[in-house]
A and B are shown apart, each in its own frame.
Chain A
Amino acid sequence: MTMTLSQTIQQQFPAELDRAVQDVFGTMLGVECSPGDAPRKTEPESFSVLIGLAGVISGSCMLRADKTSSHYIASLLTGTEGSSEAMVKDALGEVCNMVAGTWKRSVPELSSMCMLSPPTVISGTDYSLHSMPGEIRMQRYYSIGTTGFAVMLHCSEGQ
């Protein structure tokens, strides 16, 4: 039986996303990153990165991390301690862009048929993200040392 694109994405997403995250963090940040459970405690302040997807699927790929994790990820990517908020946003945007791009390349149907937008970063203590209902709503948590982050995919087939 032939699977639809949505079914293919839902079936392959966890394993392919894990590979993409581990590739990006291992290559560019020099750390091992493993899938994990949702954190029990979260800080009030967080950073959320959104990358828009448009083409054979439309929606967004998001990365969300609390403030401590965001600063840690930025320091690993830039190789500097004490990054400014602008640098943290830039670094997280690039990490999310690389994760989304690496994951997209793993799905042949998406590779050239789905465009990624430049990242948009939201930060603060009092905000919520709402995306339109879609066929695909998936989320994975990852841990690096004592910190962690979530990657979410919310999308539908078609434009």
Chain B
Amino acid sequence: MRELKVLIVDDSAVMRKIVERSLRSAGLALAQVLEAGSGKEALEVLQAQAVDLIFSDINMPEMNGLEFLAQVSAKQLAPGVPIVMITTEGSEEHVVQAVQAGARGYILKPFTAEQIKDRVIPLVEAVAS
């Protein structure tokens, strides 16, 4: 599997580091990890550079994860790039909204590295093939 450039969007710096640690524990080879503390910051990152995989929280100040997804889609900032939501919001309504807005995966907090592996590796392999 090739090395990936990943963007992690979460208003908690601690959670961004935990997601990165979990990705490494899951066996993903990371070439670079970019971080953003809000949807707005993440849009700026994507306007400047391309990434292979995006993880985003939903409940964030300034611009939440669903608004971020909608903007990424409307502005065609990451065509074909898998976006995975990592959030405490687990209602069917949130999942449907996220999928309709372009999310390809949905992981609930708290999560294990094994859950990340199970959900993310198939997405990465699908993009690579």
Contacts and interface: CB of A to CB of B under 8 A. Distances in A.
A79 B22 CA distance: 12
Contacts of B67: none
Contacts of A105: 88, 90-91, 108
A27 B14 contact: no
A158 B52 CA distance: 43
Given A28-B110, A105-B90, A112-B91, A118 B59 contact: yes
Nearest to B22: A28
A90 B18 contact: no
B14 A78 contact: yes
Interface in A56-81: 74, 77-79
B88 A112 contact: no
A79 B17 CA distance: 10
- Give the contact-size bracket for chain A: 20 to 34
B14 A94 contact: yes
B94 interface: yes
A102 B111 CA distance: 11
B29 interface: no
- Give the contact-size bracket for chain B: 20 to 34
Given A87-B14, A90-B12, A93-B12, A118 B90 contact: no
B12 A101 contact: no
Given A28-B18, A102-B88, A23 B110 contact: yes
Contacts of A144: none
Contacts of B93: 112
A94 B59 contact: no
B12 A94 contact: yes
A91 interface: yes
Contacts of B112: 27
B61 interface: yes
B88 A118 contact: no
Interface in A1-40: 23-24, 27-28
27 contacts: A27-B112, A78-B18, A79-B21, A87-B13, A90-B12, A90-B14, A90-B15, A91-B14, A94-B12, A94-B14, A94-B15, A97-B88, A97-B109, A100-B88, A101-B87, A101-B90, A104-B88, A105-B88, A105-B108, A111-B92, A112-B91, A112-B92, A112-B94, A116-B89, A117-B59, A118-B11, A118-B60
8 closest A-B pairs by beta carbon, nearest first, are: A101-B88, A112-B91, A27-B110, A112-B93, A111-B91, A28-B110, A90-B14, A105-B90
Interface of A: 23-24, 27-28, 74, 77-79, 87, 90-91, 93-94, 97-98, 100-102, 104-105, 111-112, 116-118
Given A87-B13, A111-B90, 5 more contacts: A90-B13, A90-B15, A101-B88, A101-B89, A116-B59
